[in-house]
């Protein structure tokens, strides 16, 4: 398995665990006011990062390389920054609103880089070993 996939899966699992703990806390306190931030953590962090990691496993050498690591850096940092900032915004810290563009650009950049990796995988030839006769 490519190391970039392990990196994606590691951050995805940490986001998934954090989302579960956060969801349990929200349920126990009956305070669901931060549900949008919780949803972003689960969907961008757990689901999206895991899907990206899975893609790099399946694409192998066709998509591995620096572009995959750029995808990881943008996507993972975007989620890690976006989630607490969104929670702060939802708690009434309106001063953070203009700064939300930073993690939003990171996650969008991560998705654009992921799309570039997919296009790159389409363009690279599949290396198939010849069949023994």
Q: What is the 3-state secondary structure (H, E, C) of the chain?
A: CCHHHHHHHHHHHHHHHHHHHHHHHHHHHCCCCCHHHHHHHHHHHHHHHHHHHHHHHHHHHHCCCHHHHHHHHHHHHHHHHHHHHHHHHHCCCHHHHHHHHHHHHHHHHHHHHHHHHHHHHHHCCCCCCCCCC
pLDDT means per 10 residues in the chain (133 residues)? 95 97 96 95 97 94 90 98 96 93 97 95 72 64
**pLDDT computed for residue 130 by the predictor:** 59
Domain boundaries, the chain: 3-122
Position 129 scores a pLDDT of: 57
What integer pLDDT is reported at residue 52 of this predicted model? 97
Query: What pLDDT does 127 receive?
Result: 63
Copy the structure tokens of residue 2: 């490519």
Q: What is the pLDDT at residue 61?
A: 84
Kindly state the tokens that stand for 83: 């989630």
């Amino acid at each position: 398995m490519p190391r970039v996939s392990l990196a994606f899966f590691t951050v995805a699992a940490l986001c998934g665990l954090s989302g579960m703990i956060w969801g349990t806390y929200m349920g126990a306190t009956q305070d669901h006011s931060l549900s949008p931030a919780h949803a972003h953590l689960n969907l961008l962090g757990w689901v999206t990062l895991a899907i990206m990691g899975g893609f790099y496993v399946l694409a192998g050498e066709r998509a591995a390389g620096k572009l995959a690591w750029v995808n990881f850096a943008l996507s993972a940092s975007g989620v890690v920054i976006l989630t607490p900032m969104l929670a702060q915004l939802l708690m009434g810290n309106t001063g953070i609103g203009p700064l939300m563009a930073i993690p939003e650009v990171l996650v969008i950049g991560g998705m654009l880089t992921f799309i570039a990796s997919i296009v790159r995988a389409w363009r690279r030839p599949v290396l198939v070993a010849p069949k023994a006769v």
